[in-house]
Amino acid sequence: MPIKNNKIYKWTGILAIVLLFVFSVIYALKNPSSNTNQQNLNSGQPTMDISTNQGDVEINDVTKNPVFDFNGDMVVKENSNYHILYFSKDQSFLITILAQPVRQSRQQAENAFLTLTGLDAAGACKLKVSLTVPNDVDQNLSGQEWGLSFCPNGKPFPQ
């Protein structure tokens, strides 16, 4: 009799393991841990949702450690080549190019923006992002909205 009980326990254990595996696969398929817009989100870092006309976009929480905060308008990243600001009221971003050569500074700022938000280019293009160049940096480029260079509404700097 003990031999039959051992076989029952063995087959019950195998069945339990198979069922656990099947349910794990089904759960993973129904609840993916990331989507294509969030592939670069830093694990463990707090996130926030930005409302867009294409639905909410989850980004790294840029409000946690701002360089400067003035009632929700925040400098979230800065150096001598660019500033990145976040405006909480309308959940938009402003990237200001501060140094020549402007193409190189723009590339650095756009890369920093992607890293800061944890988004890929497609995800970043869903956000409200304005990119400008002040008059004292380049008179020919000032007063215009350039957008992110990799987005459909982005414009390249003229040669």
In tens, the pLDDT along 9-65 reads 556 555 555 554 444 445 444 444 434 344 455 557 899 999 999 999 999 999 999
Q: For 110-127, what is the mean pLDDT?
A: 97
pTM over 0.85: no
CA atoms of 137 and 99, how far apart (whole Å): 6
CA atoms of 120 and 41, how far apart (whole Å): 9
Q: Does residue 100 surpass a pLDDT of 90?
A: yes
Q: Does residue 77 surpass a pLDDT of 80?
A: yes
How far is the CA of 122 from the CAs of 1, 31, 75, 112, in angstroms?
65, 22, 23, 15
Amino acid identity of residue 98, one-letter, is L
